[in-house]
């Protein structure tokens, strides 16, 4: 019940296109949903996060769409750039208690010029 | 946001040896986490540590693992008797604020067990 399922495993997008990565969760008590970007050999970097009381959050070219009834959330990267090529992880957590993150399996994004 | 630094960046050890991985906060944070990432796999939670006590731990965090903050500054993860399957990247993270949920990750330590 604590799993977070992420798809696709890999994604290739043309420069300027839209990258879409999807995640689904089971535990309805989760109340914080971040996305992380990871470059090879580096630690995950917080990109954007959302709480279930809103359906969408936008920061620059990055947007999270959240569907509470479907228990799904997605990351949209608008105007994708080669510099966006990285692995993206979604996560979910309970904001009380230990606040451990449950990560998805990751999506390797390649943006081709 | 300032993050944490981790030392060493790479640790190679023989199976059965003890290793200590260190996390150094930039400022005086109270809430820390250890995660690991086996090559090519997802990031997995190990343990959270608040105010010098373990707050929560996962099934991975068995008796071979321990955490402490020996000098009030550095935050360490000790693996008592390493196994081949302990080979992974180990990330320290700090919580953004006591009431917030953001976690900021360090650059990681690559542990290789031979």
Q: Which of A6-15, B32-41, B91-100 is predicted most confidently?
A: A6-15
Average pLDDT, chain A: 94
Average pLDDT, chain B: 89
In terms of DSSP bridges, do strands A102-103 and A86-92 run parallel, antiparallel, or are they unpaired?
Answer: antiparallel
In the prediction, which pLDDT does B99 show? Answer: 65
In the prediction, which pLDDT does B17 show? Answer: 97
Read off the pLDDT of each residue in A4-14 and give the average, rounded to a whole number.
Answer: 97
Which residue shows structure tokens 């569907």?
A: A67
In terms of DSSP bridges, do strands A62-67 and A56-59 run parallel, antiparallel, or are they unpaired?
Answer: antiparallel
Read off the pLDDT of each residue in A78-102 and give the average, rounded to a whole number.
Answer: 91
A40 Cβ under 8 Å from any chain B Cβ: no
Distance CA B5, CA B7 (A): 7
All structural domains of chain B: 4-113 (2.60.40.10)
Q: In chain B, what residues touch A108 (CB-CB under 8 Å)? A: none
Is residue B50 predicted with pLDDT exceeding 90?
no
CATH for A4-112 is 2.60.40.10
**Segments making up each domain of chain A, as ranges:** 4-112
B33 Cβ under 8 Å from any chain A Cβ: yes
Residue B27's pLDDT band (cuts 50, 70, 90): low
Nearest to B48 among A99, A102, A105 (CB): A99
B35 Cβ under 8 Å from any chain A Cβ: yes
Q: What pLDDT, in 10s, does the model give residues A22-61?
A: 999 999 999 999 999 999 988 999 999 999 999 999 999 9
Answer yes or no: are the C-beta atoms of B103 and B1 closer than 8 Å: no
In the prediction, which pLDDT does B30 show? Answer: 74
Phi first, then psi, for residue B23 (nearest 5°) are -125, 125
Calculate how close chain A gets to B15, using CA atoms only, in Å: 23
Q: What pLDDT, in 10s, does the model give residues A83-93?
A: 999 999 999 99
Q: In chain B, what residues touch A36 (CB-CB under 8 Å)? A: 43, 105
Q: What percentage of residues in chain A have a pLDDT greater than 70?
A: 97
In terms of DSSP bridges, do strands A107-112 and A10-14 run parallel, antiparallel, or are they unpaired?
Answer: parallel
Distance CA A80, CA A113 (A): 10
Q: In chain A, what residues touch B58 (CB-CB under 8 Å)? A: 100
Q: Which of B89, B105, B108 is nearest to B32 (CA)?
A: B105
CB contact under 8 A, A98 and B48: yes
Q: What is the DSSP string of A7-41?
A: E-SEEEEETTS-EEEEEEE--TT--BEEEEEE-TT
Helix (H, G, I), strand (E, B) or coil at A83: helix
CB contact under 8 A, A43 and B105: yes
Nearest to A46 among B35, B104, B108 (CB): B104
B106 Cβ under 8 Å from any chain A Cβ: yes
Is residue B6 predicted with pLDDT exceeding 70?
yes
Answer yes or no: are the C-beta atoms of B109 and B20 closer than 8 Å: no
Is residue B2 predicted with pLDDT exceeding 80?
no
Is residue B34 predicted with pLDDT exceeding 90?
yes
Q: Which of A92-96, B26-30, B96-100 is predicted most confidently?
A: A92-96
> A44 to each of A19, A58, A75, B35, B62, how far by Cα in Å?
19, 20, 16, 11, 24
């Amino acid at each position: 019940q604590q799993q977070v399922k992420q798809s696709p495993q890999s994604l290739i997008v043309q420069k300027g296109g839209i990258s879409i990565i999807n995640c689904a969760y089971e535990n309805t008590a989760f109340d914080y949903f971040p996305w992380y970007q990871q470059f090879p050999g580096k630690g995950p970097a917080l990109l954007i996060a959302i709480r279930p009381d809103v359906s969408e959050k936008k920061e620059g070219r990055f947007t999270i769409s959240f569907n509470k009834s479907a228990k799904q959330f997605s990351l949209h990267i608008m105007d994708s750039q080669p510099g966006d090529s990285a692995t993206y992880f979604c996560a979910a957590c309970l904001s009380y208690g230990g606040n451990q993150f449950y990560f998805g399996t990751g999506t390797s994004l390649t943006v081709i010029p | 946001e300032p993050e944490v630094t981790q030392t060493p960046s790479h640790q190679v050890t023989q199976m059965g040896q003890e290793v200590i991985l260190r996390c150094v906060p930039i400022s005086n944070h109270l809430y820390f986490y250890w995660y690991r990432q086996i090559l090519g796999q997802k990031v997995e939670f190990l343990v959270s540590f608040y105010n010098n006590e373990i707050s929560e731990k996962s099934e991975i965090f068995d008796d071979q693992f321990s955490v402490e903050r020996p000098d009030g500054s550095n935050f360490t993860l000790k693996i008592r008797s390493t196994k081949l399957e302990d080979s992974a990247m180990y990330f320290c993270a700090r919580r953004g604020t006591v009431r917030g949920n953001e976690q900021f990750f360090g650059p990681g330590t690559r542990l290789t067990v031979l």
